[in-house]
């Protein structure tokens, strides 16, 4: 078994080491989907095939004018312009503006030839075919120019960027009807004799529902992955090995959510050690929670396998800070994560331990960050938290008023 790491490995080092050993990126599969219903991450950069706006238009109700005709206009010394007509909505104007002329225009209307700005209606008075302009305007004032937002050939979305409700309008604006989305199939195996299926109605004594498979499925589906469950493996080497063999046939990535017993962790390690090159690369990461995380895989077959802790919060932290960056690396080569990093003063002290990277749920209130009180599985904390405090291995306590690093979902 090549590349086995005996000691706990710092998280960022583990990510870099794995990406190099596997020869990322592998790219993965892609599908073309209608742009108005796609989700996931863009596999190919998207460029604009037309200008937006497609024409110069007004952003106010008023009069389209040549700004030079309104130079120095004020309530006491207005400019007088001749009304040339009205700009129809939804079609190209049939008139142009000559010197000393203006045209009635509505919000969104196309600027006629000869006009370079719009005077708002409230800054004018009308008298027959004469319009009294009481305020000067600058060139392009109250207008949006053709191609001002983006022009033909501009990059709209970079490869790897997430597509969701925020980008749907961008596709529509640019006339793009199909998008190429990265597709990975991720298989999930839960382990542990104490684990019961999530839909169990009456739990037998000593059993707990399989929280991790539900949480992982939702997390991965949100990243555009196709998720497939391979059930709950028993606490035996044979059962886990059989589940992994099946999952590797049908999946690009396999995630094993570990049970609480030492035997389950030992079984998982020994099975991953036996995989073809490079096999088990990382056995334990220097972070809390999430120490028992395993990174393994097969380079030639392009299969990635992760063993995650069984505790729900530990499982989530490992998935969020290790699995998601590795999926990013697999597809695009960069092991950056999906979080947004910022620094915010803390309202209460945040206690940590030097020598290990730590993650603690946090909530944001009125520009201040609070550590979220956690108990048991931390599932309630995850549901209500805004993100995570990240304490580096060199940090211990963050005192009240000091800035803390926060990773927002």
Model pLDDT for residues 61-88, shown as the tens digit of each residue = 999 999 999 999 999 999 999 999 999 9
| Average of per-residue pLDDT values in the chain | 91
Tell me if 352 is assigned to some domain: yes
Backbone φ/ψ region at 335: left (φ over 0), alpha (ψ -120 to 50), beta? alpha
Tell me if 152 is assigned to some domain: no
The pLDDT of residue 256: 97
Q: What is the pLDDT of residues 325-347, one digit of tens each?
A: 999 999 989 999 999 999 999 99
- Provide the token pair at 365: 């209130």
Tell me if 6 is assigned to some domain: no
- Provide the token pair at 210: 């399989």
Kindly tell me if the per-residue pLDDT of 261 is higher than 70: no
Whether residues 236 and 296 fall in one domain: yes
Whether residues 313 and 375 fall in one domain: no
Q: Please give the Cα distance from 360 to 347 (Å, whole number).
A: 14
Whether residues 206 and 231 fall in one domain: yes
Q: Please give the Cα distance from 196 to 194 (Å, whole number).
A: 7
> Is the pLDDT higher at 131 or at 267?
131
Kindly tell me if the per-residue pLDDT of 128 is higher than 70: yes
Q: What is the pLDDT of residues 290-300, one digit of tens each?
A: 999 999 999 99
**Contact at 8 Å (CB) between 185 and 64?**
no
CATH number at residue 99: 2.170.190.11
CATH number at residue 23: 3.40.980.10
- Among 101-105, 137-141, 311-315, the range scoring the smallest mean pLDDT is 311-315
Domain boundary among the residues 332, 355, 382 is at 332
Tell me if 35 is assigned to some domain: no
Whether residues 260 and 285 fall in one domain: yes
Tell me if 150 is assigned to some domain: no
Mean pLDDT, residues 228-243 taken together: 94
Tell me if 381 is assigned to some domain: yes
3-class SS of residue 326? helix
Whether residues 364 and 391 fall in one domain: yes
Q: Please give the Cα distance from 121 to 63 (Å, whole number).
A: 7
Q: Give the pairing type, strands 303-308 and 403-408.
A: unpaired
What are the residues whose beta carbons fall under 8 Å from the beta carbon of 35, sequence distance 6 or more? Answer: 168, 171, 172, 176, 177, 178, 179
Whether residues 309 and 398 fall in one domain: no
Q: Please give the Cα distance from 306 to 218 (Å, whole number).
A: 17
| Total domains in the fold of the chain | 4
Total Cβ atoms within 10 A of residue 271: 20
Kindly tell me if the per-residue pLDDT of 381 is higher than 90: no
What domain range includes position 346?
A: 340-408
Whether residues 91 and 161 fall in one domain: no
Tell me if 377 is assigned to some domain: yes
Residue 387: closest CA among 354, 361, 352, 356: 361
Whether residues 361 and 241 fall in one domain: no
Q: Please give the Cα distance from 156 to 35 (Å, whole number).
A: 13
Domain boundary among the residues 302, 332, 362 is at 332
3-class SS of residue 33? strand
Q: What is the pLDDT of residues 13-33, one digit of tens each?
A: 999 999 999 999 997 777 777
Tell me if 2 is assigned to some domain: no
Domain boundary among the residues 314, 332, 350 is at 332
The pLDDT of residue 172: 84
Q: What is the pLDDT of residues 38-49, one digit of tens each?
A: 777 887 888 999
Specify the pTM: 0.82
Whether residues 95 and 20 fall in one domain: no
Whether residues 191 and 316 fall in one domain: yes
Kindly tell me if the per-residue pLDDT of 380 is higher than 50: yes
Whether residues 210 and 300 fall in one domain: yes
Whether residues 124 and 89 fall in one domain: yes
CATH number at residue 358: 2.40.340.10
The pLDDT of residue 262: 64
- Provide the token pair at 143: 């207008």
């Amino acid at each position: 078994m090549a590349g086995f790491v005996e000691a706990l490995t710092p998280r960022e080092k583990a990510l870099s080491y794995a990406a190099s050993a596997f020869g990322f990126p592998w790219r993965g599969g892609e599908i073309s989907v209608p742009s108005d219903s796609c989700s996931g991450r863009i596999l190919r950069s998207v460029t604009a095939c037309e200008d937006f706006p497609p024409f110069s238009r007004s952003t106010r109700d008023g009069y389209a004018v040549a700004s030079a005709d309104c130079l120095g206009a004020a309530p006491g010394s207005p400019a007088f312009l001749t009304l040339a007509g009205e700009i129809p909505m939804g079609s190209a104007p049939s008139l142009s503006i000559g010197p000393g002329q203006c045209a009635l225009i509505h919000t969104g209307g196309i600027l006629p030839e000869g006009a370079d700005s719009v005077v708002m209606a409230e800054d004018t008075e009308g008298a027959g075919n004469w319009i009294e302009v009481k305020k000067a305007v600058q060139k392009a004032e109250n207008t949006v120019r053709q191609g001002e937002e983006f022009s033909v050939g501009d990059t709209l979305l970079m490869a790897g960027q997430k597509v969701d409700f925020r980008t749907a309008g961008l596709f529509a604006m640019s006339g793009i009807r199909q998008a190429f989305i990265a597709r990975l199939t991720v298989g999930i195996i839960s382990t542990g004799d104490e684990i019961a299926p999530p839909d169990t109605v009456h739990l037998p004594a000593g059993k707990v529902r399989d929280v991790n498979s539900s949480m992982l499925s939702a997390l991965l589906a949100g990243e555009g992955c196709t998720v497939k469950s391979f059930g709950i493996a028993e606490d035996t080497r044979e059962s886990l090995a059989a589940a992994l063999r099946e999952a590797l046939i049908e999946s690009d990535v396999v995630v094993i959510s570990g049970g609480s017993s030492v035997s389950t962790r030992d079984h998982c390690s020994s099975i991953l050690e036996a995989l073809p090159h490079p096999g088990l690369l990382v056995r334990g990461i220097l972070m809390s929670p999430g120490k028992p995380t395993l990174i393994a895989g097969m380079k030639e077959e392009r299969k990635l396998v992760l063993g995650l802790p069984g505790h729900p919060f530990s499982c989530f932290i490992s998935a969020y800070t290790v699995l998601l960056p590795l999926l990013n690396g697999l597809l695009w080569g960069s092991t950056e994560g999906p979080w947004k990093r910022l620094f915010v003063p803390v309202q209460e002290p945040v206690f940590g331990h030097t020598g290990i990277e730590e993650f603690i749920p946090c909530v944001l209130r009125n520009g201040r960050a609070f550590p979220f009180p956690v108990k048991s599985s931390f599932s309630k904390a995850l549901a209500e938290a805004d993100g995570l405090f990240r304490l580096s291995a060199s940090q211990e306590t963050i005192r009240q008023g000091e800035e803390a690093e926060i990773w927002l979902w």
